[in-house]
A and B are shown apart, each in its own frame.
Chain A
Amino acid sequence: MTIVSVPGHDAARVICRVLKLRRVTGSWKSPTFADSQHFATADTVLFVNEQTPRGRRSAAQRCTTDILWAYMLGRAASVSRRPLIGVYLGPAQNASFTPPGSRSPTLHAALPAAPATSAGSRSGALPSSPPTSAQSDIAATPTAGSLWLANRVEDRQAGQCYYPDMLVNPGLREVGVIGSGPGTEADAISSATGTKAAGRESSGPGATSAISVSAMPIPDRTAPLLVDPQAAAFCRTAFAFLPPNRIACCELLASTPADETAPTEQQAEMLARLAAELALIAVAGTLQANESIEISVQGGSGRAESCAGSARAPRRSRSPVQQGRRE
């Protein structure tokens, strides 16, 4: 089961076209699309979880979204031995970014009322080796319309941080997300400046405590940072139900808070490929001896089979360690 959550109808339309999904009639408050008549039998479900500008939702709306997520994931998780992936897709609040400097500051945030905020200073040497292409990606400027894969989502208000396992990546650049939950601008700004979140430090399911990123004197190799309160809500629910290897969190950047940016077909295909690759890894661990399964989503497909534990996902970011390799 692959679940794709999108913020609005424009985005849903593109993804539905690529994934060939149709609207499911049912009791959902938010529109749901799937590749079959019913949610329970679908391989892919698309869930339009919000239709109001981001950061402007009422507490009731936030609560509804969380409950819907919990319901969806809870039902989907009960379908045993099917891959289940949450892909969160949503625009950042604002895409006014400061290009990363060569040394510092390295923390970048887009804030609704404080555009082009960059904060935090770092000490520590840069790696002496020349930047690789991956580093160039890290240093890339997030621009409106670009699609990013989150390697961590911080819920500053709850003092928690979520790390989806970064097992596959169909070529998306990575980003850190401050999802401060039902936060305020002040919350977001204090997050962006690296202030440690007040409140409890205890970890929720699958979460670790939040961090003070800008205080880290590590070389300039971290991904840029975005602010997106929705991501925290998604992770809170997803990590309660799913293991981190079955969760991905994507960010599609919008230019304004009200902008309902839709992904391009190419980006939708990338999402499909990400979903298919994660699904292969998820399902490979559940196969019985001599069993195999084909997973095919437009834009990505593959075959997982039980053979002494090797999940055969499309080999993109597979990285067997080479030391002591066979002759």
Chain B
Amino acid sequence: MIETPTGHHFTHIYVEEAAAPFPDTDRILRLLPQATVVPISDARALFNRRNQHFQAQKSNPKLILSVDHGPYLYRGSERVQSFGDHQVYYVAPIRNCVYNCEYCFLQGMHASGDLLVTVNNQDMMQAASSLYRDRGGYFLSISYLTDLMAFESLLPFCRRWIEFAREHPELLLEIRTKSDNVQALRDLAPVANVVLVWSLSPESVSRKHERGAASFRNRLLAARTAQQAGWRLRLCFDPVLRVPGWKDLYHDCISETFRRLNGEAVEQVSFGVFRLHGDFLDRMRKLYSQSPLLHADWQRRDHLTTYREEEIEEVRHAVQTSLYRHLDPSKITFVHG
């Protein structure tokens, strides 16, 4: 395998005609000198082709560089706002992720497993800026449809948006990650309205169900580095999977987390159980006929597929009990829906 300066390896880069003149296109092509460039007319048409196999494409994902023509800002659902903030929006500088979590809803949402990268990030920022002018502060998630920090060495989206947040102090910017690439931000001074959120899972769960993502220990070390550097830090244990021995696994995971991190300085913790919208699960099951997790006997209610009510309550109680040992209850949010 050819190592690149960023540690990423993509064999092909599909470049939309309109994306060719953008500096980000040039940057990516320079950083991935071994990749073959394939010119395309319309990135979205390629990305949205019917009949693609998400998981087959994940075996060797490609980059698709595109120009986004808007809308740039989307209203966030409850799944975005895990911490009870209001007026939630998200942007999608990248669609799809360098990781491949078995439960990830992107498999049900996107036709393709390739990464669709927007090279006109500036237009997104302008849209975010004009919304800010119109209605003041709001909560903005920039890594809702990807893990942006894992991509940071290739395109510094996090860095750009952090600088953007610095200039828009009423904004609350959330960067959620399962990576350990905090080093990419090491020369940035923490910003008061930027929150870094690490998504954590017990080691065995992450090893089995979060393919490619950093190990639990590395994520924890990264979160500690960020905390020590002065960044606002939130954590989430989501989704909690009822794997064999889950109670002990999550209890140990939470204990280890607060052994390594200063609980006082952790702003908030959210957790939730596995949940997916019904049609997403149907599509994911087709892609993943061998996944015991996706083919488990889920209960479907109001378009949401999840555990049975009593199982959810059991998870809620168990995780809450573990978290109460380390945190003030006001800092804990249970997310569902």
Contact = CB atoms under 8 A, between A and B. Distances in A.
Interface string A160-188: 01010111110000101000000000000
A247 to B, nearest CB: 10
A323 B37 contact: no
Interface stretch (A67-75, A89-97, A129-137, A264-272): A129-137
B179 interface: yes
Contacts of B212: 320-321, 324-325
A105 interface: no
B30 to A, nearest CB: 5
Interface string A98-113: 0000000000000000
A286 to B, nearest CB: 6
A319 B10 contact: yes
B263 interface: no
A106 to B, nearest CB: 10
B71 to A, nearest CB: 22
A274 to B, nearest CB: 14
Contacts of A205: 50-51
A285 B290 CA distance: 7
Contact of A166 (B20, B51, B62, B215): B62
B310 to A, nearest CB: 26
Interface stretch (B11-19, B135-143, B166-174, B274-282): B11-19
B17 A163 contact: no
Contacts of A133: 34
B19 to A, nearest CB: 9
A210 B41 contact: yes
A323 B7 contact: yes
A293 B45 CA distance: 34
Nearest to A290: B290
Most buried by B among A281, A324, A326: A324
Given A222-B38, A317-B11, A281 B59 contact: yes
A115 interface: no
A282 interface: yes
B9 interface: yes
Contacts of A286: 289
A218 B29 contact: yes
Contact of A326 (B20, B41, B53, B215): B215
Interface in B204-222: 207-209, 211-215, 217-218
Contacts of B153: 323
Contacts of A243: 51-53, 56
Given A309-B211, A319-B9, A218 B33 contact: no
B289 A322 contact: no
Most buried by A among B25, B51, B217: B51
Contacts of B52: 165, 243-245
A57 interface: no
Contact of A319 (B61, B102, B289): B61
B1 interface: yes
A213 B20 CA distance: 11
A169 B36 CA distance: 13
Given A218-B29, A245-B52, A308 B291 contact: yes
A215 interface: yes
A143 interface: no
Nearest to B152: A323
Given A221-B29, A308-B102, A208 B49 contact: yes
Interface stretch (A45-53, A58-66, A120-128): A120-128
A219 B37 CA distance: 9
A178 B35 CA distance: 21
Contacts of B99: 321, 324
Contacts of A323: 6-8, 98, 150-151, 153, 179, 181
Given A287-B289, A289-B292, A320-B212, A208 B42 contact: yes
B57 A165 contact: yes
Contacts of A174: 36
Interface in A242-279: 242-245
B24 interface: no
B45 A216 contact: no
B336 to A, nearest CB: 26
A308 B211 contact: yes
Contacts of B62: 166
Contacts of B217: 327
Given A165-B57, A319-B60, A324 B15 contact: no
Contact of B60 (A161, A206, A306, A318): A318
Given A134-B36, A135-B33, A218-B37, A309 B42 contact: no
B39 interface: yes
Most buried by A among B45, B208, B213: B45
Given A125-B26, A285-B55, A327 B36 contact: no
B290 A167 contact: no
Interface of B: 1-3, 6-12, 14-15, 17, 20-21, 25-26, 29-30, 33-42, 45-46, 49-53, 55-57, 59-62, 98-100, 102, 147, 150-151, 153, 178-181, 207-209, 211-215, 217-218, 287-292
The list of the 7 closest CB pairs from A to B, nearest first, reads A306-B290, A324-B179, A211-B41, A324-B214, A221-B37, A208-B45, A245-B56
8 contacts: A167-B60, A168-B60, A176-B39, A206-B51, A210-B41, A218-B20, A309-B100, A311-B56
Interface of A: 124-125, 127-135, 138, 151-152, 161, 163, 165-169, 174, 176, 203, 205-213, 215-219, 221-223, 239, 242-245, 281-282, 285-289, 291, 306-311, 313, 317-327
